[in-house]
Amino acid sequence: MKKVVKFGGSSLASAEQFKKAARIIRADKTRLYVVPSAPGKRFSSDTKVTDMLYSCYGAAIREKNFTEQLHAIKTRYQEIIDGLKLSISLEKEFQIIGENFGKKAGRDYAASRGEYLNGKIMAAYLGFEFIDAAEVVRFHEDRTFDDETTNELMAARLNESTGAVIPGFYGAMEDGTIVTFSRGGSDITGSLVALAVHADLYENWTDVSGFLIADPRIVQNPKAIETITYKELRELSYMGASVLHEDAIFPVRKAGIPINIRNTNKPEDKGTLIVEGTCRQPKYTITGIAGTDGFVSITVEKAMMNSEVGFCRKVLQVFEENEISIEHTPSGIDTMTIFVHKDVFEEKEQQVIAGIHKAVHPDHIDLESDLALIAVVGRGMKATRGTAGRIFSSLAHAHINVKMIDQGSSELNIIVGVRHDDFKNAIRALYEIFVETRI
């Protein structure tokens, strides 16, 4: 039995948190591979070390004095080292980092030092071997991730180790240039390690007791999901439930390794098990609810649109030519609506409208901004009648106007579009009807 354990930023934000993580690791001898994030927030107004590094490097790039900022980062680590009563010194490391910042070694290099240094401390505290992710996580020259080489390098290096710490979030090109994944990317490293060592389980330790049915910042004390499938999780992650980086799913899914989301502050809780498939019936009709803000809808209206062959293609082509990806396209007899991300659309708005006019000569084009999309996801929906009806009635009850509803053909999710101002209330209303009242 082999387990890979990844600890998120808040789980390693202070010496106290490090002690909790170490207790968890030592409690189970099969927890052999540890992937740490950089120290996160200790309290809500605190700054993550990764953000401190980005800002410090920003000063270096602008030729400003960054000594003080780098010193503040060093202090964060020194407090952890002192709190753990370790005798290691990061003096030399910080000297090198300072020099490299001066030489403008790159934004990714800068950010990666957060996990690198935390890994050094974690290895010293546990008495585990430290393996630099730059040696085992490989990126191509165009900065895309090289999964094959990574798996080969990792498998060869890790299988000869019994107890190793591999920092999350970054890797390197063949020439040693450091590259990071996108934010939250330590989850991906954990997944890659699990794949390379053929782990039985990938435990992802964070600050919540699993994947919760709804965002805890919107719904008070939401219940945790016991078991969720990769497919359901992907739908929820894509729509903004940010517990686990969405790309962290692919490597382990391929190998059939389950992920267990656990709470470092409540190790007695079982958390959420993420699996390929399960015969376990979910407790509620739905598995989870997630949503994202910041969409625009473009409604194109033309009488007899339905009988005009190629109409939809011509409209969609305008978006393609402007490199705008489309989220949803509900349509009526004489109307077609396209949902897109506001931040991408905004700057190309006039070009797109002109393009549509030219392509299909519509009677009318209507824009609506400040929309939010909410996904109601659940493998149990397929077997239950009336789910869409319940969604509508709960939102109507909460005086929320539904702008769009779209049921995926897999019957795994239903997407609802609402106004930005109704976003949070809509999520609360949906949670209420499916979880609290459970009718």
Please give the residue ranges that form the binding site for ligand ASP (CB under 6 A).
Answer: 9, 37-38, 48, 50, 114, 168-169, 183-187
**Interface region with ligand ADP, contact rule CB under 6 A, candidates 141-149, 173-181, 212-220, 409-417:** 212-220
* Local structure of 199: helix, strand or coil: coil
**Interface region with ligand ADP, contact rule CB under 6 A, candidates 8-16, 58-66, 166-174, 385-393:** 8-16
Closest CA to 191 of 165, 168, 170, 158: 168
Task: Classify residue 302 as left (phi > 0), alpha (psi -120 to 50) or beta.
Answer: beta
Q: Closest residue (Cβ) to Mg ion?
A: 184
Determine the Cα–Cα distance for residues 73 and 333; give it in Å rounded to an integer: 59
182 interacts with ligand ADP by CB under 6 A: no
319 CB-contact burial (10 Å; exposed 0-12 / middle 13-18 / buried 19+): buried
Determine the Cα–Cα distance for residues 187 and 199; give it in Å rounded to an integer: 15
Closest CA to 13 of 220, 261, 246, 264: 264
Nearer to ligand ASP, 180 or 297 (CB): 180
Nearer to ligand ADP, 212 or 338 (CB): 212
- Cβ distance 262 to 271 under 8 Å? yes
In the list Mg ion, ligand ASP, ligand ADP, none, the entry touching 10 (Cβ below 5 to 8 angstroms by class) is ligand ADP
In the list ligand ASP, Mg ion, ligand ADP, none, the entry touching 185 (Cβ below 5 to 8 angstroms by class) is ligand ASP
367 Cβ partners below 8 Å, 6+ apart? 296, 297, 298, 299, 349, 353
Q: Which of residues 6-35 bind Mg ion (CB under 5 A)?
A: 8
Q: Which of residues 168-187 bind Mg ion (CB under 5 A)?
A: 184
Nearer to ligand ADP, 229 or 337 (CB): 229
9 interacts with ligand ADP by CB under 6 A: yes
Nearer to ligand ADP, 180 or 329 (CB): 180
Residue 228, H or E segment = strand 227-229
Closest CA to 291 of 328, 329, 340, 242: 242
Using the rule CB under 6 A, which residue among 208, 249, 340, 430 binds ligand ADP?
Answer: 208
In the list Mg ion, ligand ASP, ligand ADP, none, the entry touching 208 (Cβ below 5 to 8 angstroms by class) is ligand ADP
Using the rule CB under 6 A, which residue among 75, 159, 242, 351 binds ligand ADP?
Answer: 242
Give me the least distance between CB of 242 and ligand ASP, in Å please: 10
How many amino acids of this chain bind ligand ADP (CB under 6 A)?
19
Give me the least distance between CB of 228 and ligand ASP, in Å please: 20
Nearer to ligand ADP, 108 or 232 (CB): 232
Give me the least distance between CB of 35 and ligand ASP, in Å please: 9
Q: Which of residues 355-384 bind ligand ADP (CB under 6 A)?
A: none
Give me the least distance between CB of 180 and ligand ASP, in Å please: 8
Nearer to ligand ADP, 52 or 208 (CB): 208
The pattern of x and - marking residues 184 through 213 that bind Mg ion according to CB under 5 A reads x-----------------------------
Is the CA virtual torsion 430, 432, 438, 439 positive or negative? negative
- Cβ distance 433 to 394 under 8 Å? yes
Maximum alpha-carbon separation in the chain: 78
221 interacts with ligand ADP by CB under 6 A: no
In the list ligand ASP, ligand ADP, Mg ion, none, the entry touching 38 (Cβ below 5 to 8 angstroms by class) is ligand ASP
* Local structure of 247: helix, strand or coil: helix
Q: What angle do CA 223, 202, 160 make, to 5 degrees?
A: 165
How many amino acids of this chain bind Mg ion (CB under 5 A)?
2
- Cβ distance 80 to 74 under 8 Å? no
Q: What angle do CA 139, 145, 148 make, to 5 degrees?
A: 90
Nearer to ligand ADP, 123 or 208 (CB): 208
Q: Count the Cβ atoms, other than its own, within 10 Å of residue 426.
A: 26
106 Cβ partners below 8 Å, 6+ apart? 177, 178
Nearer to ligand ADP, 263 or 297 (CB): 263
In the list ligand ADP, Mg ion, ligand ASP, none, the entry touching 169 (Cβ below 5 to 8 angstroms by class) is ligand ASP
- Cβ distance 166 to 119 under 8 Å? yes
Tokens of 3: 């387990």
Using the rule CB under 6 A, which residue among 108, 115, 203, 207 binds ligand ADP?
Answer: 207
Closest CA to 308 of 336, 344, 349: 336
Residues that bind ligand ADP (CB under 6 A): 8-11, 37, 40, 184, 206-208, 211-212, 214-217, 241-243
Give the residues lining the site for Mg ion (CB under 5 A).
8, 184
